[in-house]
Structure 1
Amino acid sequence: MTASTLTFRLAAATTAASALILAGCAPATLSSDRPHLVVTTNILGDVVSEVAGDAADVTVLMRPNADPHSFEISAQEAAMLADADLLVSNGLGLEENVELHLATAASAGAMRFVAGDHIEVIEYASDEASGPDPHFWTDPGRIVDVVVALEEQLTAMPEIDSATIEQNAAAYLAEIEQLDAEMTESFASIPRENRALVTNHHVFGYLADRFDFTTVGTVIPGGTTLASPSAADLDSLATAIQTTGVPAIFAESSQPDRLIQVLASEVDIHIDVVELFSESLTGADEEASTYITMMRVNTERITNGLSR
């Protein structure tokens, strides 16, 4: 399945309650008869929890509002990886400080599911950056591909309740279908001349590919927030913004927006800086605590920001 040819399996079942367990804490009540799934990022953690429901125990390593490029895990968490029944990671170079621990656990016999292995990968839309773009979750179609592959992986595990997994996956795919329809309708209302994105760094390439946006540029060159822009980068981007006349630029919630504010002050036009939740979910009591809600908030903010 590819992003351009979405197919969704619908079911009447309701979505199972999430079993998300936040980073820094071992699962409170690991069941001896349920498999233990350890997930790196909190976005994938939410997806895995929706599919697994109460058929598995889920531990998520990345805390809310963290940066997936730079978060680290404790020695206790690293030791836990080898004992997991399945390690779920994003891949494509995203978890820069955790990959070595995952590889070590896999060498010791831990089973891995790398989400990036199950999608149609695109390259960074930049002259400065090269390599695969790991931010596939900005396109719900790629999440469909991940859910379908994850369902297959989990139902093949002999100790798991495959019927529960199939029911949960079908219900979650129906939710993603609805999300995709909402995003398509909302983005269609943006004037054609405004369908351009300027962000902290290259994170919306898949969204741009799926929903026909142009990526004008980024404040931070490359695909990682660990890079830094030069004065020439800022000057070039300021020129691009002035040329295209975009009414808003976007800053990610997982990174301070100081650089993008500096850029806005250097562009001799009024331009809004809109915060998006692009690389991390928020806490449970905040507005982007699940993948679905995060995407809905971002869709509304992008649409409003570019429709002025």
Structure 2
Amino acid sequence: MRPLRASSLLIATTVVLAGLAGCTGTAASDRPQIVVTTNILGDVVENLTGDAAEVTILMKPNADPHSFEISAQEAARMDGADLLVTNGLGLEEGLQQHFDRTAAAGVPTVVAGDVIDVLPYSSDDANGADDPHFWTDPARMVDVVDTVEEALAEVDGIDVAQVRSNAETYRGELAELDEEMSAAFAAIPVERRALVTNHHVFGYLADRFHFRLIGAVIPGGTTLAAPSAADLRDLTDAIDEAGVRTIFAESSQPDRLIQVLASEADVQVEVIELFTESLTEPGEGADTYLTMMRANTDRIADGLTP
């Protein structure tokens, strides 16, 4: 009976160890491990890596980048990453403690906001703080792609040739997107190129394609802020003066406040939903960066064209 008991013990031990391995979240793949904070950047990075690396995206579809949180398992993935890619410029407000830890541990990191031409918010919004929403300008995303490509090429064990080829293809797709957006927005009369949104997301788009930013329902650069009655009055006056008839609400945020603003303005104002700070689940209209930008371009053009 002793051999039987020993065999049974061995089998049981194997099962337990296998179960523990599954609980730790240790990657089964021996490919390089890339961790990306936001799903917009995650989509871009996946286009660059293809199957040359395993990419973990921390932010779930339809989440708010200002307030999403991660699990202990995901934090461990950050600590063990071969490369960490973040947005920066204060966007991922809930992850700062994790950034401090990975920086102290020396995890190789690309901060996308450090490699683009950064715009500040306007002087009366967020006290001139840096605007983190650079992805609304596809030309700036080319700078991000260039930097991530070089960082990926330094990762041990990665297929550099595949990364280079994928990056070149994706730059071509960004150039095509930029051309499409330029053509669509050029058809909007100059006097109607005015944007009002939930909060300030379109500074880079406005800079690239010559829009005026009339204002935002939520002041500053974060969805965690709240508008005062004075904020709403000032914005209502600006809307009346600019003759704005379309207001854009973000898909990741309730549009209650923007509906209130439309009502307060005492004019006929249409509220159109845009995809701005998060990708969606597949089939919901914006499951890739390129799809999101094209959907927004169509909706902005339709909303502002007479």
1:165: which partner in 2?
163
Stretches of structure 2 that go unaligned for 5 or more consecutive residues are: 1-22
1:221 and 1:229 in contact (8 A); partners too = yes
2:83 and 2:155 in contact (8 A); partners too = no
- What's the CA shift for 1:79? 2.2
User: Does residue 113 of the first structure (1) align with residue 104 of the second (2)?
Assistant: no
Out of 40, 50, 53, the position equivalent to 1:53 is 50
Instruction: Tell me how far apart the structure 2 counterparts of residues 123 and 27 of structure 1 sit (CA, whole Å).
Output: 39
Instruction: Tell me how far apart the structure 2 counterparts of residues 300 and 26 of structure 1 sit (CA, whole Å).
Output: 44
Aligned to 1:154, the other structure's residue is in SS state helix
Q: Which moved more, 1:110-119 or 1:71-80?
A: 71-80
2:36 and 2:58 in contact (8 A); partners too = yes
- What's the CA shift for 1:246? 1.3
Aligned to 2:227, the other structure's residue is in SS state coil
Stretches of structure 1 that go unaligned for 5 or more consecutive residues are: 1-24
Amino acid at match of 2:42: G
Deviations along 1:265-302, one digit per CA (max 9) or x if unpaired, are 01111010000000000001221000000000000000
Instruction: Tell me how far apart the structure 1 counterparts of residues 24 and 53 of structure 2 sit (CA, whole Å).
Output: 14
2:91: which partner in 1?
94
Amino acid at match of 1:176: L
2:263: which partner in 1?
265
Question: Number of residues paired by the alignment?
Answer: 283
- What's the CA shift for 1:238? 0.5
Amino acid at match of 1:173: R
CA RMSD of aligned residues (A): 1.5
2:215: which partner in 1?
217
Out of 72, 75, 100, the position equivalent to 1:75 is 72
2:173: which partner in 1?
175
Instruction: Tell me how far apart the structure 1 counterparts of residues 179 and 25 of structure 2 sit (CA, whole Å).
Output: 35
Instruction: Tell me how far apart the structure 2 counterparts of residues 126 and 140 of structure 1 sit (CA, whole Å).
Output: 24
2:65 and 2:92 in contact (8 A); partners too = yes
1:37: which partner in 2?
34
1:27 and 1:59 in contact (8 A); partners too = no
Instruction: Tell me how far apart the structure 2 counterparts of residues 285 and 250 of structure 1 sit (CA, whole Å).
Output: 21
The structure number with the bigger radius of gyration is 2
2:133: which partner in 1?
135
Matches within 5 A, 1:248-259: 248-259=246-257
TM-score, structure 2 length as denominator? 0.90
Instruction: Tell me how far apart the structure 1 counterparts of residues 293 and 156 of structure 2 sit (CA, whole Å).
Output: 34
Q: Percent identity?
A: 63
Q: Which moved more, 1:84-93 or 1:125-134?
A: 125-134
1:89 and 1:113 in contact (8 A); partners too = yes
- What's the CA shift for 1:105? 1.8
User: Does residue 152 of the first structure (1) align with residue 138 of the second (2)?
Assistant: no
Amino acid at match of 2:240: Q
Deviations along 1:158-199, one digit per CA (max 9) or x if unpaired, are 321110000000000111110000000000011111001000
Q: CA 1:270 to 1:27, structure 2 compared with 1: closer, same or farther past 3 Å?
A: farther
2:6: which partner in 1?
none
Deviations along 1:212-254, one digit per CA (max 9) or x if unpaired, are 0010000000000000000000000001111111120100011
User: Does residue 103 of the first structure (1) align with residue 100 of the second (2)?
Assistant: yes
1:187: which partner in 2?
185
Q: CA 1:285 to 1:121, structure 2 compared with 1: closer, same or farther past 3 Å?
A: same
2:25 and 2:73 in contact (8 A); partners too = no
Amino acid at match of 1:288: A
Instruction: Tell me how far apart the structure 1 counterparts of residues 86 and 28 of structure 2 sit (CA, whole Å).
Output: 20
Out of 274, 277, 289, the position equivalent to 1:276 is 274
Amino acid at match of 2:209: F
More helix by share: 2
Aligned to 1:120, the other structure's residue is in SS state coil
Instruction: Tell me how far apart the structure 1 counterparts of residues 27 and 108 of structure 2 sit (CA, whole Å).
Output: 22
Out of 239, 243, 246, the position equivalent to 1:245 is 243
1:69 and 1:95 in contact (8 A); partners too = yes
- What's the CA shift for 1:28? 9.3
- What's the CA shift for 1:131? 1.0
Instruction: Tell me how far apart the structure 2 counterparts of residues 61 and 193 of structure 1 sit (CA, whole Å).
Output: 41
1:16: which partner in 2?
none
